[in-house]
Amino acid sequence: MREEEVETPALLIDLDAFEHNLARMQRLLEPSGIRLRPHAKTHKSPVIARLQQRHGAIGVCVQKVSEAEAMVWGGIDDILVSNEIVGNRKLARLAALSRIATISVCVDDPSQVAALEYAAEAAGTRLRVLVEIDAGSARCGVAPGEEGATLAAQIAASPGLIFGGLQAYHGSAQHLRTLQERETQIDGAVMAVTKTLDALSRRKLACPVVTGGGTGTFELEAASGVYTEVQAGSYVFMDEDYGRNLGKEGAPVSTFCNALFVLSTVMSRARPGMAVLDAGIKALAMDSGMPRVWKQPGLRYVRASDEHGEMEIAPESQSPLLGQKLRLVPGHCDPTVANFDWYVGVRRGRVECLWPVAGRGALY
Amino acid sequence: MREEEVETPALLIDLDAFEHNLARMQRLLEPSGIRLRPHAKTHKSPVIARLQQRHGAIGVCVQKVSEAEAMVWGGIDDILVSNEIVGNRKLARLAALSRIATISVCVDDPSQVAALEYAAEAAGTRLRVLVEIDAGSARCGVAPGEEGATLAAQIAASPGLIFGGLQAYHGSAQHLRTLQERETQIDGAVMAVTKTLDALSRRKLACPVVTGGGTGTFELEAASGVYTEVQAGSYVFMDEDYGRNLGKEGAPVSTFCNALFVLSTVMSRARPGMAVLDAGIKALAMDSGMPRVWKQPGLRYVRASDEHGEMEIAPESQSPLLGQKLRLVPGHCDPTVANFDWYVGVRRGRVECLWPVAGRGALY
């Protein structure tokens, strides 16, 4: 089947670009020796997670218990739930999973250590628990230093739990546009980690893992000397928003290629200078801006409604045909993926594979 | 099961409020005699469509062929695809459906009449085709008047097609805040319809249906004398954005109640004055603004990331407990529903039913 024959809207992976991104990340991290634990919240696909493992990843991160379930059921052995899970039934599901795979989870409140201990004991298993420290995002996570170490000591003293290390992800640093801004923020995260490692060391608590870093900053965490693994996820696909990050001397970052697209059809051309696509808010995440029409500089996606996307056609440009299919680069890849049931893998214009978005709807 | 026991994030319907909305719409429309064809793109549920039919609806609208399939398979007999469908395979699916149910579809380009004719003939069926006119939104639809009538004549001359009437939905009028702005826009839509009806009449073409109107304006279309049916959809649930519309003398419109909620759990309280919920961009559509925390005036949902929602706690307010469940009123109901697989129907704090979001992922 040719790409133009795929029913739209469809979620396309350009397999050449995708494989380039996998290999590129492996090459970038190899010299530093830092481990890669890519975030599967980006792709929600155990197939992609397994390909990441073939390129050196040691496991994955997820955000939700249901995502962890999708990963375990798809053959992934080492999963970090990279935030807090609250609620006894969710913790029971997590403990049950830890009988099949290595499961770690984060905590940022002393009351939750007892809940985790209870869940592990009831399931007859042990859970790895990381202390989340606030690395600068001011969202979740305890204060670095003594507060983090106190929580770690509480975990280490719980027979059903293993102190797994520190979660120190700085989410809001990922999309700061200049390299200098990102460096300043990650310097702060590294200081927060160091302060907490010192406090742990005073208590003679070993810290096996320091994990964090996304597609916008992972090279900084990798070079820090204190992080042991990075959690970049979007690098496999890239999106318009990450494409706006700048690197050295203000040049655009071009480390990874656009590998994810929403294929869309022109469904109306009733007005001159405009064309309407069949992919709107229900197909494309708009929280980080409009999608870009791929390799069509004269076409600009300017307005989205639930099922429609309006494109302006530049005066000098050729008008797209009714029924013509166009690739769109999503503004934000993660929530765009979550709108679809399947990936359509294409290589040089031909469909090569269909992969389920197994963790779609895995919100809980 | 009590509401507090429901796993989060979950999509709740408050059944008392929902039934109030169904009955209220029926009462509002009865005097005018106008028919209700609610838009099922809002709820994507044949169960809800059937309840709407029990309250007088004559069928539903949908936007996508896959939504039409979900409705037909769920027992709905009369479906209008209220926009253009382009692509021969999609038209073949639509024609196949028209052997099971009454299917209508819109057109705004002469080239598509031949494609529809081909699909109907190949399936040995006849398709009802409406001409979409631009009622003021400047998105899809031909110009009102002669252009619309010419397209209608082309449909009427096609043996496999039946001219079904005019689609004249003014989408961008729905959320204009003052009644006067909405009245001005719908006056324009009524003029566009009248001009086209006159042109049809000069060609001796009967126009059985004029359809349009959403939750923001349906009373205006119902009172116009030219529309024969209204397509309001959001009225069953309401959302924060529709809640900002103003009615007579600038008073808030309170015709319908909030019946749709995302139930969410407080998952982190690490910082004073803040709490973090487990429902972010992948659970709640943010395109029309942030959700409101239901009946908690001291809590404000201020920032969303993929899986987190950050709440500010007003200084005088009680801080929510870790693990506490809170109802959120979505900013925009339609794309919020599309994030979930199930509705959890609750009545006075008890779970009463689970309804599948059968048309979830029905993008194509």
List domains and CATH numbers for chain B: 15-236 (3.20.20.10)
> Which 3 state secondary structure label does DSSP give A306?
coil
Nearest CB neighbour to A361, from listed B271, B310, B341:
B341
Tell if the pTM clears 0.95, that is, is over it.
Answer: yes
pLDDT over 70 percentage in chain A: 100
| pLDDT tens readout for residues B304-356 | 999 999 999 999 999 999 999 999 999 999 999 999 999 999 999 999 999 99
Q: Looking at CA atoms only, how far is residue B324 from chain A in angstroms?
A: 9
Q: Looking at CA atoms only, how far is residue B86 from chain A in angstroms?
A: 6
Report CA-CA distances (Å) from B220 to B62, B225, B227. Answer: 22, 10, 10
- Residue A191's pLDDT is what? 98
| Residue B254 scores a pLDDT above 90 | no
How many Cβ atoms from other residues are within 10 Å of residue A35's Cβ? 17
Contacts of B318 (CB under 8 A, 6+ apart): B298
- Of B266, B218, B207, B271, give the one whose Cα is nearest residue B242: B218
| Residue B103 scores a pLDDT above 90 | yes
- Of A328, A330, A309, give the one whose Cα is nearest residue A243: A330
User: Do the strands A10-14 and A260-268 form a parallel or antiparallel pair, or are they unpaired?
Assistant: antiparallel
B234 and chain A: CB distance < 8 Å anywhere? no
| pLDDT tens readout for residues B177-205 | 999 999 999 999 999 999 999 999 999 99
Report CA-CA distances (Å) from B142 to A277, B84, B148, B196. Answer: 16, 11, 6, 10
Which band of pLDDT confidence, cut at 50, 70 and 90, is reported for residue B263?
very high
Whole-angstrom Cα distance, residue A195 to residue A220? 18
| pLDDT tens readout for residues A216-259 | 999 999 999 999 999 999 999 999 999 999 999 898 888 999 99
- Residue A253's pLDDT is what? 86
B1 and chain A: CB distance < 8 Å anywhere? no
A109 and chain B: CB distance < 8 Å anywhere? yes
Q: How high is the mean pLDDT of chain A?
A: 97
- Residue A65's pLDDT is what? 98
Report CA-CA distances (Å) from B36 to A319, B40, B60, B61, B159. Answer: 38, 12, 8, 10, 29
> Which 3 state secondary structure label does DSSP give B256?
coil
Q: How high is the mean pLDDT of chain B?
A: 97
Whole-angstrom Cα distance, residue A101 to residue A77? 5
Report CA-CA distances (Å) from B119 to B66, B87, B122, B123, B163. Answer: 17, 10, 5, 6, 16
**Chain B residues with CB-CB distance to A86 below 8 A:** 265-268, 278, 322-323
| Residue B156 scores a pLDDT above 90 | yes
B278 and chain A: CB distance < 8 Å anywhere? yes
A141 and chain B: CB distance < 8 Å anywhere? yes
Q: Which of B69, B86, B111, B311 to mutate to test the interface with A (most CBs of A within 10 A)?
A: B86
**Chain B residues with CB-CB distance to A63 below 8 A:** 306-307
As a whole number of angstroms, the longest Cα–Cα distance in chain A is: 72
- Asked if residue A43 lies in contact with residue A284, where contact means CB atoms within 8 angstroms, the answer is no
Cα nearest neighbour of B341 on chain A: A361
Quick check: B63 and A7 CB within 8 A? no
Quick check: B364 and A9 CB within 8 A? yes
| Six token digits for residue A168 | 């120190």
- Of A195, A242, A200, A244, give the one whose Cα is nearest residue A218: A242
